[in-house]
């Protein structure tokens, strides 16, 4: 089959990508859907691209948590975990929550703390929220911390970690441990009271898309069921969905199935400003207007992560768990400062890492016509808190799985990010089993690892072999897929509102991307360190404002700022910009090609 012609004849944009338009079959399905349902054509195109049929469109547009929520008992060990947690809560036993230092871990821990508090459990006197330090303790449970918690508590609940922590959890001794996790499990599980994890090897695989906070939420659903069966009423779980929504988006869980309902309903709860920590964080980030999945992933999430990355590890989790507005405001201000520092550290690391990775890719010699299947970089002094973000940027720039490692002495800690269809977590676990890494684990799209300097080169060579077998590197530069071409006059707020009704958009359910052909740049200004704000139009209709984040990290910023009257094809996603009570359409600019 011959390759489809490039959309607007763009074979290589300013970011090196080929533009692809909608396929004919999707257009036909959209037309049929519009005729059968009466929905707006633009909305039907979005639904058809997402694989939604005309029959399923009504339920997709209004995802019901009642209809989509899986039976918690379908997960192994769920009943045992819920029973033990409920027993500890109702009898006033001392409970320790051991949480990972990222957003998923922090929200998971906060979920349990808020639920206990609403139950009437004396949280301040009998509960401990423990988050390990990324630098000193590393990811997941460690024996000293678990032993100390076990000596002072009756139950330890590990959230967003613990599935691979056999030795560390053995340090709990006779104290019961419950693990609520979603990271890829090994062939054996820790010898603890319960391990609830949809990514256990003996699970069906139907719920692998859940983040840890969603697993915690399902356990609380099961706890509520057990309470009702005993004639008791528990806390209202729906009021906690803002935490689940934040974790789902920030952990880049695919927005499919019940995850869509979690985020859709969670955004409504977030808009009610129920929880002091999230209110303070939203105000600190300058959130304006109704919350969206963008706010979760790009405003709130990075600020919570900043504490675990370069500051006090438990700051984000404590912010989410507090009910004191003044305490929340002070912690949000700390996180705002840390997030700015994190960006500065990230920028310094990214520039060096990208140059190093590109040098390796340029020197790559294909074997058996196999292109490079891995981008990686390693150096001394890179902060462990930013290597994951830099790996994500590297993955986006190369369309390859990416690993970034920072060394301190002989030991190195790294993070990896993968591309669609390539299971990085499984490959990392295989390296650990082969003795090529000291530690490692994760899930399909992200992983962490520890290694020595002597292990570095052999591990990266072997990892690239494993990833190549999964098809990494065969796709070349990622094509930019576009849903339609629009004239500026058609980009109205009512169109954007209709499209947004198919949301939330994110991983696994990307929002529509539009092209504007042969546009004139009327205004271009650099904002912040590397962003660009422009105003464009075709001279026949209204002008549209656009923002391009990171524009000056590549060719887009300099080219549009020095446009000299040239015309450009612009591509991106439409959104409603709210400012001082007024609404206007804005393009989140993603790519540019000379017209």
Q: What pLDDT is recorded for position 369?
A: 66
Please choose, from the candidates 572, 568, 577, the residue with its C-alpha nearest in 3D space to the C-alpha of residue 587. 572
pLDDT of 1 over the 60 cut: no
Rounded to whole angstroms, the Cα distance separating 293 from 268 reads: 11
User: What average pLDDT does the structure give for the chain?
Assistant: 94
Position 105 pLDDT exceeds 90: yes
Tell me: the pLDDT tens digits for 114-161?
999 999 999 999 999 999 988 888 889 999 999 999 999 999 999 999
Query: In 382-394, which positions are buried (b, 16+ CB within 10 angstroms) versus exposed (e)?
Result: bbbbbbbbbbbbb
Indicate the DSSP class of residue 295.
Answer: I
Report residue 366's pLDDT band, with 50, 70 and 90 as the boundaries: confident
What b/e string do you get for 308-333 counting C-beta neighbours within 10 Å, with b at 16 or more? bbbbbbbbbbbbbbbeeeeebbebbe
- Model-level pTM greater than 0.85? yes
**pLDDT interval class at 368 (50, 70, 90):** low
Of 513, 515, 512, 522, the closest CA to residue 542 belongs to 522
In the 3-class helix/strand/coil scheme, how is 26-70 assigned residue by residue? HHHHHHHHHHHHCCCHHHHHHHHHCCCCCCCHHHHHCCCHHHHCC
Cα–Cα distance for residue pair 172/280, rounded to 1 Å: 36
pLDDT of residue 365 exceeding 80, the answer is no
pLDDT digit string, tens, across residues 206-247: 999 999 999 999 999 999 999 999 999 999 999 999 999 999
Q: How confident is the model at residue 477 (pLDDT cuts 50, 70, 90)?
A: low
Q: What is the pLDDT of residue 439?
A: 92
Residue 179 structure tokens: 């693990």
Say if CB 350 and CB 395 are below 8 A apart.
no
Q: C-alpha angle with apex 45: 42 to 48, nearest 5 degrees?
A: 150
Q: What is the mean pLDDT of residues 356-379?
A: 88
Strand partners, 441: 448
Q: Tens digit of pLDDT for each residue in 167-193?
A: 999 999 999 999 999 999 989 999 999
Query: Do you know the residue count of the chain?
Result: 595
Q: What is the pLDDT of residue 163?
A: 96
CA 180, 181, 182, 187: dihedral to nearest 10 degrees? -110
pLDDT > 70 in the chain, percent: 98
- Per-residue pLDDT tens over the stretch 266-318: 999 999 999 999 999 999 999 888 899 999 999 999 999 998 888 788 999 99
Q: What H or E segment, with its residue span, contains residue 215? A: helix 212-229
> How many other C-beta atoms are found inside a 10 Å radius of the C-beta of residue 478?
17
- What is the distance between the alpha carbons of residues 370 and 224, in angstroms, rounded to a whole number? 53
Return the number of other C-beta atoms located less than 10 Å from residue 229's C-beta: 8
Residue 250 has a pLDDT of 94
- The string of DSSP letters for 470-496 reads TTTTSS-SPPEE--EE--GGG--HHHH
Check if the beta carbon of residue 255 is closer than 8 Å to that of residue 504: yes
**If DSSP codes are grouped into helix, strand and coil, which group holds residue 8?**
helix
Quick count: other Cβ atoms within 10 Å of Cβ 195?
24
- Is the pLDDT reported for residue 3 higher than 90? no
Measured CA to CA, the distance from residue 100 to residue 493 in angstroms comes to 40
Residue 2 has pLDDT above 80, yes or no: no
The pLDDT, as a whole number, for residue 554 is 87
Tell me if 165 sits within 8 A of 141, measured CB to CB: yes
Mean of pLDDT values over 395-423: 93
Mean pLDDT of 2-26: 89
Tokens at 91, concatenated: 């009898």
Beta carbons of 385 and 310 less than 8 angstroms apart: yes
How many helices and strands, by DSSP H and E, does the chain display? 22, 18
Q: Distance between CA 271 and CA 291 in Å, rounded?
A: 6
Distance of CA 479 to the CA centre of its chain: 22
Q: 576-593 pLDDT, tens per residue?
A: 988 777 889 999 999 999
User: Above 90 in pLDDT, residue 474?
Assistant: no
Torsional class of 395: left (φ above 0), alpha (ψ -120 to 50), beta (otherwise): alpha
pLDDT (0 to 100) of residue 579: 76
Q: What is the pLDDT of residues 317-350, one digit of tens each?
A: 999 999 999 999 999 999 999 999 998 999 999 9
Q: d(Cα 363, Cα 372) in Å, to the nearest integer?
A: 10
The C-alpha atoms of residue 401 and residue 420 are separated, in whole angstroms, by 9
Do β-strands 531-537 and 514-527 pair in parallel, antiparallel, or remain unpaired? Answer: antiparallel
Say what the pLDDT of residue 540 is.
87
Query: What number is the average pLDDT over the span 498-516?
Result: 92
């Amino acid at each position: 089959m011959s390759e489809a012609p490039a959309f607007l004849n763009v074979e290589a944009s300013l970011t090196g990508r080929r533009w692809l338009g909608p396929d004919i079959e999707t257009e036909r399905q959209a037309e049929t859907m519009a005729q059968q349902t009466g929905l707006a054509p633009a909305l039907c195109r979005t639904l058809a691209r997402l694989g939604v049929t005309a029959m399923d469109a009504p339920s997709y547009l209004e995802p019901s948590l009642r209809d989509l929520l899986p039976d918690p008992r379908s997960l192994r060990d769920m009943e045992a975990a819920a029973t033990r947690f409920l027993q500890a809560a109702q009898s006033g036993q001392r409970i320790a929550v051991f949480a990972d230092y990222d957003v998923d871990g922090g929200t998971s821990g906060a979920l349990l703390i808020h639920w206990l508090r609403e139950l009437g459990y004396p949280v301040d006197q009998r509960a401990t929220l423990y988050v390990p330090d990324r630098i000193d303790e590393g990811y997941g449970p460690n024996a000293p911390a678990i032993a100390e918690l076990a000596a002072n508590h009756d139950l330890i609940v590990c959230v967003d970690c613990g599935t691979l922590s056999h030795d560390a959890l053995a340090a709990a001794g006779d104290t019961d441990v419950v693990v609520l996790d979603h990271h890829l499990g090994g062939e054996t599980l820790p010898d603890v009271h319960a391990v609830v994890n949809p990514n256990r090897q003996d699970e069906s695989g139907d719920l692998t898309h859940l983040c840890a906070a969603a697993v915690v939420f399902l356990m609380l659903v099961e706890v509520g069921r057990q309470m009702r069966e005993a004639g008791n009423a528990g806390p209202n779980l729906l009021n906690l969905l803002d935490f689940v929504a934040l974790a789902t988006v920030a952990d880049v869980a695919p927005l499919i199935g019940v995850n869509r309902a979690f985020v859709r309903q969670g955004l409504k709860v977030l808009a009610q400003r129920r929880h002091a920590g999230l209110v303070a964080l939203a105000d600190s980030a300058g959130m304006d207007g109704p919350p969206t999945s963008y706010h979760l992933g790009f405003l709130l999430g990075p600020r919570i992560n900043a504490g675990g990355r370069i500051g006090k590890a438990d700051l984000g989790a404590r912010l989410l768990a507090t009910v004191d507005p003044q305490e929340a405001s002070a912690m949000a201000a700390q996180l705002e400062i840390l997030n700015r520092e994190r960006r500065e550290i990230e920028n310094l690391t990214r520039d060096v890492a990208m140059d190093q990775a590109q040098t390796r890719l340029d020197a790559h010699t294909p074997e058996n016509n196999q292109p490079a299947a891995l981008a990686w970089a390693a150096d001394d002094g890179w902060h462990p808190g930013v290597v994951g973000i830099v790996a994500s940027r590297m993955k986006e720039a190369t369309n390859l799985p990416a690993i970034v490692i920072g060394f301190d002495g002989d030991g190195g800690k790294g993070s990896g990010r993968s591309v669609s269809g390539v299971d990085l977590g499984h490959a990392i676990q295989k390296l650990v089993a082969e003795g090529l890494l000291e530690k490692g684990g994760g899930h399909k799209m992200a992983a962490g690892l520890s290694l020595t300097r002597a292990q570095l080169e052999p591990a990266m060579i072997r990892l690239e072999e494993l990833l190549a077998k999964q098809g990494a590197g065969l796709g070349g530069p990622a094509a930019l897929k576009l849903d339609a071409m629009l004239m500026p006059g058609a980009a109205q707020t009512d169109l954007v509102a209709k499209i947004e009704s198919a949301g939330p958009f994110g991983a696994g359910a990307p929002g529509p991307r539009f092209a504007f052909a042969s546009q004139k740049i009327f205004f271009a200004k650099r904002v912040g360190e590397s962003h660009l704000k422009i105003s464009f139009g075709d001279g026949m209709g209204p002008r549209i404002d656009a923002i391009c984040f990171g524009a000056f990290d590549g060719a887009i910023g300099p080219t549009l700022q020095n446009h000299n009257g040239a015309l450009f094809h612009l591509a991106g996603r439409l959104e409603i910009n709210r400012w001082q009570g007024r609404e206007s359409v804005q393009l989140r600019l993603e790519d540019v090609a000379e017209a």
